[in-house]
Structure 1
Amino acid sequence: MDNALRLLTDEQMRTFIAEGFLILNTDFSKTFHDQLLEKLNHVYQNEGNPGNNLLPRVRELQKVFDHPVVKGALTSVLGPDFMLHAHRHGHYNNSPKPGGWHKDSYWGYYRTRNLRPWWAMIMYFPQDTPLELGPTGIMPGTQYYGSRTFESDECAGEATAKGAAGTFALIHYDIWHRSTANTAGLDRYMLKFEFMRTQAPVAPTWDNRNPEWVTPAAFSTPILPHEALWRDTWNWMSGRSTPEDAGYAETDGDIVTLLEQLRGSSEEGRVRAADQLALLGGKTAAAGAVPALAQALEDPFEPVAINAAYGLARLGDAGVSALLQALRHESKQVARSAAYGLTAAGEQAVDGLTEALQSEREETVALAVFALGELQDKAASALPSLIRLLNGSSEAVRRVVVEALGTIGDPGIDSVVALAKSLKDEDVQVRFMTGLSLCKLGAKAEAALPELIEAMEDENRYVRAHAAEALYYIGTPQASAALLDFLRSSRWCPTTTPASTFYP
């Protein structure tokens, strides 16, 4: 097997951005998968589902994540320093009924989901999985919607991860998916692992040949157009993340006609009109597009609102003002769409978002913090205001603040001290999000070592895991020594089971 990383091509990356998934294949031998299945059957039949201990209990799986196709795909989407998350699960399915459509949670709590790919999942199939064996079903393009935009459980356009043993689905963490019906009456395993980006992109990490966004040549199924959003994501992943250097090509269009379509009865027509207005950018400023797009933020069909938000992000002060006003909207969906638009607006949104941190409305503050976090180094001036929010704010606000502190610019000692203190927060979700932020800061977080060492004794498994990961990413001699001490005392033996406690 060639060990060189198989990075994604430009076309594969474009498809991932637009559709939210790729179906890829490894080239392991039949013998490898036969042995893997034998081990899985033994574990599941004799011990039950190993849950988060899936990888140490079934050691052969490490070879999967060392495979150049798997590692290359993850490097392409999440960067070379991606993190394998402590949560993983082996799904066993022999049900003749399909599962329900859903997005995976973030371990039991709500958070504003990133449209940009900070998170991804791999769903690996260790056996031949034809359609009748119940592969995972995926609804293309839905990673950008908080609401379910399709009505029927049996939906046209559903993609499935069917294929030979070694097939895997690389998916945007937030895409709508489900298990399909296993009508074959045979065992089916799907091994799910989660991954997190630890560094914002500064350059393409896939096999990039063309720096500009090009719409994919073909889609697996018709999806709604989000060209402005797709281009923003492509540019962000390429290290270009401001409207000024976004490289948007002006498109031809009759603005009056587009505005009429934006108010029409066709959902698809409104989506396309909002997207075209977004692509026209500054040309629409003098044609009444700002109030029309601001009104479209309230469209009940979320894809329209998303495109309107990205259109307003490209319309200067007037567009940003409309988004900031919508951030305070009583509808969570409207306010969330506005927050996404503000993340694409660049530095011109920072002052207004910082002012929104003083709102008495919790949802407004949390969304403003989220948008500032997505603006990364551009939001460095907001750090003092964000740190102050850790004192006296609700759990929901504190959770998003500690996450933002891991992505905004050069954190400085004040941010690290604030995060170190948050490792002792009474809310467990604040604590484990703090650990993930310290992973992103790496060596800059060395001042938090005492608190991280203490956090490895936390009652929550994810707080402990994230603290250990943070020590790994800090990587200094003291951090590495503390991590080694922790691992030595918590060493896992993959062959010790209730049936084999000591021998052989």
Structure 2
Amino acid sequence: MSNLNMTPADTRHLLSAEQMARFVTDGFLLLDAFVPRHLNEKVHEEQRTNGQGHTFWETSAAIRDVFELPEVQGIIQSLVGLRPVYDHSFLHIVPDRYPVAQDWHGDSIIDVRPHAFDIQLFYFSHDAPPEMGPTLILPGSHLRKINTFSLARYKNIIGQRQLAGKAGTLAILHHGIWHCAQPNATDRTRYVFKLRLRPGQEQRGLFNLEGYDSPEVRRIIGQGYQRWQGNEDRLDHMQRAKLWRYVTGDDNVDVSFEGALTRMGI
């Protein structure tokens, strides 16, 4: 593992307070057709001709160019800072007409940190429509700690969402989100590159803080309930509020249900 080389991002490339609130609430951001076409074409060609799981990051200059885009660097800085540590990467290759789905699971779930988080970036160099089987995720599940494949008995969960999109789509996931890849029903091979980064510093105040306690931010976090959460949905709201304090660096901001954090002197 090693630190990535990062230079401070222009403020316009950092995540906004509203974007960060959605990440804290849902556990992911999905940016459709975010990477320019010329880079997508270069990466896709290298994936088809020289795509190898764990080594693709080292052997492909094009994939590194994608993650060195100023816009991508700004997202990374907003979430894990200027000294992110490379944890691992993998080029997942799913052949055409592949009928098998993954079981629901969480990645590398053993974690003793109360609020800090790794990020996983999923990048599609080609169009990835639903029938091609891009990964299913469950919004809001990053706040419910599980043990890897303890979810495997489930098939479909209300509120699940597929990371489908056009070429150049980039998904940024909290490391704890529940997910599973799906069957590829097309006659084309599916490629998705995954890069996992962990923070090299505290993740406090790294994004564009303008408006971090605005009515819109409060609305996003306060209305972030999911039907699958059931009777524990207000407990998840409390977890969102605690995570929001951490990422803003403001230990007094309170977006919890009925201001419970403040009332309880936390």
TM-score if structure 1 supplies the norm length? Answer: 0.44
Tell me how far 1:72 sits from its aligned partner: 1.4
Offset from partner CA, 1:226-264 (integer Å, 9 cap, x none)? 3322122111112234xxxx23378xxxxxxxxxxxxxx
Contact 1:20 1:141 in 2 (8 A): yes
2: CA distance, partners of 1:34 / 1:194: 23
Provide the secondary structure at the position in 1 that maps to 2:13. coil
Partner of 1:239: 249
Provide the secondary structure at the position in 2 that maps to 1:98. coil
* Structure 2 counterparts to residues 282-293 of structure 1, below 5 A: none
1:193 to 186, 190, 195: 195
1: CA distance, partners of 2:250 / 2:154: 39
* Structure 2 counterparts to residues 100-499 of structure 1, below 5 A: 100-105=103-108, 111-112=110-111, 114=113, 116-147=115-146, 152-202=154-204, 204-212=205-213, 214-216=218-220, 222=227, 224-225=233-234, 226-241=236-251, 246-248=252-254, 279-280=259-260, 314=264
Contact 1:113 1:174 in 2 (8 A): no
Change (3 A) 1:206 1:56: same
Tell me how far 1:21 sits from its aligned partner: 0.5
Contact 2:103 2:152 in 1 (8 A): no
Tell me how far 1:82 sits from its aligned partner: 2.0
> Which one has the bigger helix percentage?
1
Higher RCO, 1 or 2 (CA under 8 Å, sep at least 6)? Answer: 2
2: CA distance, partners of 1:113 / 1:186: 41
1: CA distance, partners of 2:151 / 2:104: 11
1: CA distance, partners of 2:66 / 2:262: 48
Contact 2:81 2:201 in 1 (8 A): yes
1: CA distance, partners of 2:34 / 2:260: 45
CA RMSD of aligned residues (A): 2.8
Tell me how far 1:149 sits from its aligned partner: 7.5
2: CA distance, partners of 1:33 / 1:220: 35
Identity %: 22
Change (3 A) 1:19 1:122: same
Which amino acid in 1 is paired with 2:247?
Answer: M
Provide the secondary structure at the position in 2 that maps to 1:33. helix
Offset from partner CA, 1:168-210 (integer Å, 9 cap, x none)? 11000111111022111310011010111111145x2212222
Contact 1:82 1:197 in 2 (8 A): yes
Contact 1:77 1:206 in 2 (8 A): yes
Structure 2 segments unaligned to the other structure (5+ residues)? 1-8
Tell me how far 1:126 sits from its aligned partner: 0.9
Which amino acid in 1 is paired with 2:104?
Answer: W
Structure 1 segments unaligned to the other structure (5+ residues)? 251-274, 284-313, 316-344, 346-504
Contact 1:141 1:175 in 2 (8 A): yes
Q: Which has the larger radius of gyration?
A: 1
Offset from partner CA, 1:110-160 (integer Å, 9 cap, x none)? x33545243111011111000011111111111121246797412221111
Partner of 1:333: none
2: CA distance, partners of 1:137 / 1:249: 28
Which amino acid in 2 is paired with 1:228?
Answer: M
Which amino acid in 1 is paired with 2:126?
Answer: Q
> Which one has the bigger strand percentage?
2
Matched residue count: 243
Contact 1:117 1:172 in 2 (8 A): no
1: CA distance, partners of 2:108 / 2:62: 27
Contact 2:143 2:239 in 1 (8 A): no
Contact 1:25 1:69 in 2 (8 A): no
2:16 to 4, 9, 31: 9
Contact 1:93 1:134 in 2 (8 A): no
Provide the secondary structure at the position in 1 that maps to 2:220. coil
1: CA distance, partners of 2:115 / 2:237: 14
Contact 1:102 1:178 in 2 (8 A): yes
